[in-house]
Structure 1
C-alpha cells in the first residue's frame, strides 16, 4: 500500500500550494428530485413524480471518477453487479436476475450482439455520456422482450446551438499499457447543430494464470465514432440523425492438449437512428422513427503450421420502424405507439439464416388526479411470428407526501423471448462429441441422427408446442426523501420468474454422449431491499451509503428439499443426509449482501476534489462442489471481498483538468473465480475543454 499512497499524497501536497475560491461540484450524489428522466415513461418526467424505482448517474459524476468503460461505472451502483459470461464479456445483474434479462439502450435504442448470451458493457465508452438512467423492475410494457429485469439507458450528449466550435480532448494512461483517447467537436448555428465524438482504447490485457502463452485478457484495441445531427426544419418539425460505429480487434490464443493455437477476434458494430419530431399543436406531438443496427463478430484460430483449427462468425441485423404520439392535457398525458421488429442472424452452427419478426403496439396513461397523486398505467401487445403472443401490463402509483418526500409502488409484467440460439442452434462438439440443438430444429435433426445410426435412444421429448417466452411478475415498494443535507432512496422488490429456458438431455448418442435441447422448466423467485442514502455537509463534503439485501432461489428446488429428495454428503464422515430448507443457499453467483460507500471531499482553495469509493460483495457460489445439482451451505463458496477506487481531480485552470488515482487500490485478486478483477490499476488523465 505504501507504493500506492506515497505518490498520491505527494501530488496532493504539491497541489496544496495553489489557492482558489472555486467550489467544486458534488460528484457523489447522483439523483435529485428535480432531475428530468425519460426512460421510465418515454416522456420527460421529474424523479419526484416518477412512480418507479429509478436511479440517475449524471455525466459530471462519471467524469469525476476517471473511469473509462460502462462496466466500471455500473458496478459502483447500488444493487448492480457486473458478472462475466463464458465469452469473457461483462454483463449486469439486477435485482438478482441475470444479465440476459436487462435491456441496454443507447439514446433509447437497444444494443445487440449477445453472442454468448450477455451484452458486454466494456465495449461502451463513457467519455461522451450526459447521464445514465436506470429503471429497475419489469419494463416490457414499453420496451418489450429483454426488459424483464429492467432497463439501462445510456444517454449521450446532444448537439446544441452555439456561435462557435467547442469540444473537449482527454487522454488517459493506466497500468497494463492502457491508453484511452477521447475527443468531441460540436458546432451549431440557427437551424442545424452537429456533434462528433470519437474514442480510441488500447490495452495489453493482463494475465492472472500461470500460462505463459495465453492471457486472462488478451491485448485488444477498439474505437468508437458517434456523429449526431439536429435540424430544425420548421417551428414544428425537427429532424435528428444519430449514428454509432464501433470496431474492436483482439488477439485470440488458446492451448488444447498441449497444442498452441493463435488468431484474431474482430467485432464490428453499426447503429443508426433517424427520427422526425412533429409538434402538431401544444397538446399533440408525433415521433416518426427508424432504427437499424448490425453486429458482426468473427474469430479464428490457427496452428503453429498456419493450419486453420477453428473459425466462427456471428452476423446480426435488426430493423425497427416506430410511430409514437404523446397527447397532453392538464391532468394527464396519453402515449401510444406502433412498431415492427425484424431481426436476422447468420452464425456458425446455424444451418441457415434465422429470422424473427414481430409487430407491437403500446399505450400509456400518466394521470395526475391530485397534485400529490400520480398514476401510471400502461400495456404493450407483441405479436411475434415464432412464439406466443404477449401482453405486458404495468400499473404504478406515486404519492408525493410533501415537496421533499414521495412514496411509490408498482407492479408489472415482463418477458424475454427465446433467442435465436435457443431456437436454431445446431452444434456438435468435435472433441467430446455431445450435440446441442435449438428447439425449432431439434425434431428434424434428431430424425436425421436416427437415420444415420448415431442415436442409442431418445428420452421421449416432443416438440409440438412452441417454446414459450420466459415471463416475470415484478413488485416494487419504495420511497424517496430529500432535505437540505440528507437524501434517502429505498425500495423493496419481489420477482417471480416462470418458464425459464434451460437445457435437457433429449437423447443419447452411440458414442455415449448426450443430445441436448432447450425447454421451459424452472420457476425462480428473487426478493430483497435496496437503500441509498446521501449526507452532504455544505458544498465540500458528501457521503453516500448504498446497500442491497437479496434472496434468489429456485422454487422447484425448494419443493424437492421439503419433500426430502435432495441430499448432501458430510465432508468428514462421507455419510449422505437429506438437506433442510435452511441449507439451501439459492441461485449461483448471487450474493445476499452488497454495499458501497462513496465519499466526495473538495478543497476549494486548492481546486481539488477527492472521490473515494468502497465496494463490498458478500460470499457467493459459482459451482456445485458436492454433486447434488444445487448450491447449499456445504458447497465451496467464493469468499466475500472488498475493493476500493480512488480519484483525485485538480482544475489547473478554467479549461484544463488533471486526474490521477487507482482502481482496485487494495490490489484484490481471485484468479480462479473473478477473472475480471485484474489487480491494482493506477491511472492519470488530462482533459482540455475548448
Structure 2
C-alpha cells in the first residue's frame, strides 16, 4: 500500500508539472508608446518571445509555477518580475523605463552593427530625442550646439548658412549620415541639417576622429549619423509645435499607418516660417535670415521571411530664405539697387536597406539625392545642380572570435554650377560639369580576445576617378574591467579628403575670378590617434559617468583655397607643410535619485597649420569650449526644468586690412537657455521658456561697410586692393564673413507636444 501511494503521488506531480499555460500582454514605455521587438524570457526554462508591431507578446507552454520573467529592450532598463502561472492564460503588461545611464546606449556608427556603447571598440556618443527636447530648435543644425566638441558654425552674417565643426575641424571634414547613408554631403552640407523633422529622430550618433575606413571621403574629422525612428515604434500621431516672441513658428507632425499586414509606414512633415525682419543692431541689415521651409519625410518597413530587413525612405525639402537690407523685396533680387541674399533650395533624397534572401547576412544599402540651388548674392547669381548616387553591399560573418565585416561601395557625384569652378578651360562660355566616380572596398575584423579585450582591424581601398588610389587603414583596441565599470580605448587610423572645388564663398562669386591650380591637387590625408577612458561610478543611488578623450590629428597635403593672394583668382593648392588638431575633452553624466540630472562637457584644443616654419592658428576655432544640460523634475507637480548652455573661448577672426577696426579675436561668449515642461496627461506636454538669457549678440559692426554693400564708393589700386579714402577710412570692402556666433538676441518661446498611441 505504501508503494502504491508513492506511485500515485509521483504520477500526480508529473501531471501537475506537465500542465502548461501562456503568459501574454503588452510592452510599452512610460509614455504609453508600444515597444516592438522587445525580448521576453524565462531564462530558467529557456522560453522566450519578442513583442510584435503593437507591442504584444505571448510566452507559450509555460509550466505551472512561479517563474522570473525578464524583459529587455534597447535603450531601456531591464525589467524582472516573479510571475505565478496557475491557469491556462495569465495576462501581464510590462512598462519599461528609459535608461538614465547614457553609457549603455546602443550604437551602430562605429562598426556598422548594433552594439552597446561600452562594448564598441570605437568611441561613439549617442544623443536621444529626449536630449534635444531640453532645448527645442527648428533644425538639427541648431540642436547640435549643446554637444561637447561639436559646434554649428555660421559662415555668413546675411544668409546665415553654415556647417558643423567637430573638435575644431571645419565643415568639409564632417560627414553627415541619415540612417547610415551619406545623404548630406558636398553642396547640401550647408542645408542638409535643416528640414529633418525632430519628431522622427530616434537618436543622433557622433564619432569624433577619422572614420574614412568605413565611410570614405569627408569623414576625416568625424561623422554625425541621424537615426530615424522605426515605424513600428513610433506613435500613431505626434505633433510638436512652438513659436517665439520674434515671430518664428515651427511645426513637426508625424503619423504612422499599416499598409496590409506586412508593411508599416511613417510620414513626417516639418514646417518652419520666420518672416519678421528685425534690425536690433541698427546696421540696416536683417539680424536673422528670413526663412520659409517645408520638408516631407516618409519611411517604410517591410516584414519579410526570417525577419530579413527591408526599409525604404525618402525626403523632400524646399526652402526660400533671404537676408539683407531691411527694405529689400523680391523685385530687387539679382539687382544692385538694394542688397539682398536670396536662396531657393530644392532637394530630394531616397535611401534604403535590403537584406538579400540568402543564409548569410548580406545587406544592400543604397541612396540617391538631387540638390538644385538657385541663389543670388546682391547682383551675383549662383546656380548649382548636384546629383549623388550611392550603393553599398556589406557581408557580416562571425567565425569563432572573429567578427568580420566586408563591403563593396560605389559613389557617383555630378556637379555643375555657373562659376569658373566648372567652366570649360577651352571655352569659358560653356560649362564642364564634374563627374566623380568612387568605387571602394573595405574589410573589418573585430577580434574578441577574451571578455576584457577586443581588437578591431580595418582597411579601405578607394579609387577616385580624379585622384587615383587611396588607402585608409585603422586599428582600435578596447579593454574593460570585469564589472564593465572601466573602459579604455586606443585608436589609430588614417583619413582622407578630396577637394570639392565648388564654393559659396562670396569672394568666389564675382564671376570674373579665374580658378587656378598651382599643382595637381593630391588627396588630403590625416593620421589620428585617440585615447578614450570611460568610468562608471555608483555612489549609492547616484550614478556618475565620466568619458575622457585625448586626440591628435596630423594632416598632410591640406587643401587650401586662397582668395587673398589675388582678388581676381581662386588659387587651389596643397599646404606646403602640415596641420595639427590636438586636444582633450571630458564629458560628465550625473544622475541623482531625487530627479536631478546633469550632462556637462568641456574641450580644450589647439588647431593650426605650419608652413615654412610659421604657425598659423585656424580661423573660427575656439581654444576651449564648454556645454551643459541640467534638468530637474518636480514629480509632485509634473514639471521639469531644463537649463542648457554653451561657452566658447576666443577665436581668430578674418580682417580685411591692417587698418580694419574690428577685433582680431572674438571675446568669451555664451548662449544660455531655460525651459519649463509640464505634463498635462500621459500624451500631452506644454513647454516654454527663454532662449539666450544673457541677450548676447556679436558686435554691431560685424558686417564691414554695411552702408555700401555693392562697393560703389570703394576705390581700388592697380593690384585690386581697396584704398583708404575719406569715404572709406579703413580701406574696407563689403564683407559679411566676420561671423562667429548667432546674431539673435533674447526671446521667449512656447510650445505643445501631443502623442497618440
TM-score bracket for this pair, using the shorter chain length: 0.7 to 0.9
Equivalent residue for 2:434, pick from 341, 351, 354: 354
Match of 1:525 among 576, 580, 593: 580
Aligned equivalent of 1:194:
265
1:375-427 CA distance string (max 9 Å, x none): 111111101111131101111011012321110010111111111428xx996
User: Could you report, residue by residue, the CA deviation over 1:38-97 in whole angstroms, capped at 9, with x for unpaired residues?
Assistant: 011111111011122321101122223333321222110111122112463121111221
Question: In the alignment, which residue of structure 2 is the partner of 1:416?
Answer: 497
Q: Secondary structure at the match of 1:409?
A: strand
Q: Is the CA contact (8 Å cut-off) linking 1:91 and 1:121 kept in structure 2?
A: no
Q: Aligned equivalents of 1:594 and 1:426: distance in 2?
A: 30
Q: Give the drift of 1:628.
A: 12
Relative distance call for 1:367 and 1:190 in structure 2 (3 A) is farther
Kept in 2, the 8 Å contact 1:427–1:437? The answer is no
Task: Write the mapping of 1:421-440 to structure 2, written as runs, cut at 5 A.
Answer: 421=502, 429=510, 435-437=513-515, 439=517
- Deviation readout 1:86-109 (Å, 9 max, x if unpaired): 463121111221111000111111
Where does the alignment leave 5 or more consecutive residues of structure 1 unmatched? 1-22, 303-308, 440-460, 562-583
Q: For residue 754 of structure 2, what is the aligned residue in structure 1?
A: 688
- Residue aligned with 2:232, SS: coil
CA RMSD in angstroms, aligned pairs only? 3.0
Counterpart CA distance in 2 for 1:438 and 1:40 is: 38
Q: 1:264 to 1:94 in 2, by over 3 A?
A: closer
Q: Determine the C-alpha separation between the residues in 1 that align with 2:659 and 2:698.
A: 25
| Aligned CA distance change for structure 1 residues 626 and 296 (closer, same or farther; 3 Å) | closer
In structure 2, the partner of 1:143 is: 215
Q: Is 1:552–2:630 an aligned residue pair?
A: no
Q: 1:44 aligns with which of 114, 137, 155?
A: 114
Using the alignment, how far apart are the partners of 1:35 and 1:49 within structure 2? 10
Q: Does 1:88 align with 2:136?
A: no
- In the alignment, the residues of structure 1 paired with residue 409 and residue 666 of structure 2 have an alpha-carbon distance, to the nearest angstrom, of 45
Report the counterpart of residue 487 of structure 2 in structure 1: 406
1:221 paired residue number: 292
Provide the TM-score with structure 2 as the length reference. Answer: 0.73
Paired residue secondary structure (1:392): strand
1:89–1:635 distance in 2 versus 1, CA, 3 Å: closer
Any conservation in 1 of the 2:507–2:563 contact (CA below 8 Å)?
A: no
Alpha-carbon distance change, 80 to 266 in structure 1, aligned in 2, over 3 angstroms: same
**Partner residue of 1:278?**
356
- Runs of 5+ consecutive residues of structure 2 not aligned to the other structure: 1-94, 329-333, 423-430, 703-738
Contact kept? 2:295, 2:316, Cα under 8 Å = yes
Instruction: Write the mapping of 1:46-61 to structure 2, written as runs, cut at 5 A.
Output: 46-61=116-131
Change (3 A) 1:398 1:420: same
For residue 191 of structure 1, report the CA deviation from its aligned partner.
Answer: 1.9
Aligned pairs for 1:229-628 within 5 A: 229-235=300-306, 237-251=308-322, 253=324, 259-261=337-339, 264-278=342-356, 280-281=358-359, 284-300=360-376, 309-349=379-419, 350=422, 351-401=431-481, 402-421=483-502, 429=510, 435-437=513-515, 439=517, 461=518, 463=519, 466-484=520-538, 485-503=543-561, 514-521=568-575, 522-556=577-611, 559-560=613-614, 586-624=617-655, 627=658
Residues 1:34 and 2:104 are matched in the alignment: yes
- The aligned residue for residue 50 of structure 2 is none
Q: Which 4+ runs in 1 deviate beyond 4 A?
A: 23-27, 116-120, 252-258, 261-264, 425-428, 504-508, 624-629
Cα separation, 2, equivalents of 1:218 and 1:160: 38
Aligned residues of 1:322 and 1:338 also touching (Cα < 8 A): yes
Higher alpha-carbon deviation: 104-113 or 152-161: 104-113
Offset, 1:675: 5.3
Partners of 2:183 and 2:368 within 8 A in 1:
no
Structure ranking higher on relative contact order (CA contacts 8 Å, 6+ apart): 1
Secondary structure of the 1:217 match is coil
Contact (CA 8 Å) 2:146, 2:628: kept in 1 or not?
no
CA shift digits 1:296-316 (9 cap, x unpaired): 1102479xxxxxx44331110
- 1:260 and 1:114 mapped to 2: Cα distance? 31
Report how far residue 477 of structure 1 moved. Answer: 0.1
Total equivalences in the alignment: 594
Shift of 1:370: 0.4
1:645: which partner in 2? 673
Distance 1:193-1:591 versus aligned 2 partners, 3 A rule: same
Cα displacement (A) at 1:199? 0.8
1:216 and 1:436 map into 2 onto residues whose CA distance is 33
* Distance (whole Å) between structure 2 residues aligned to residue 51 and residue 167 of structure 1: 38
- Alignment partners' CA distance in 1, 2:219 and 2:349: 20
CA distance in 2, matches of 1:119, 1:249: 12
8 Å contact 1:229–1:241 — kept in the other structure? yes
Conservation of the 8 A alpha-carbon contact between 1:53 and 1:491: no
| Displacement after TM superposition at 1:516 (Å) | 3.5
Deviation at 1:662, TM superposition (A): 1.9
Q: Find the partner of 1:67 among 117, 133, 137.
A: 137
After TM superposition, give the deviation of residue 25 of structure 1 in Å. Answer: 7.9
Task: Classify the secondary structure of the residue corresponding to 1:49.
Answer: coil
Q: Secondary structure at the match of 2:356?
A: strand
| 8 Å contact from structure 1 (residues 25, 539) kept in 2 | no
Give CA deviations for 1:143-200 in whole Å, capped at 9, x if unaligned: 10000000000111111179xx812112111132111111111124642111111111
Q: CA deviation at 1:210?
A: 2.6
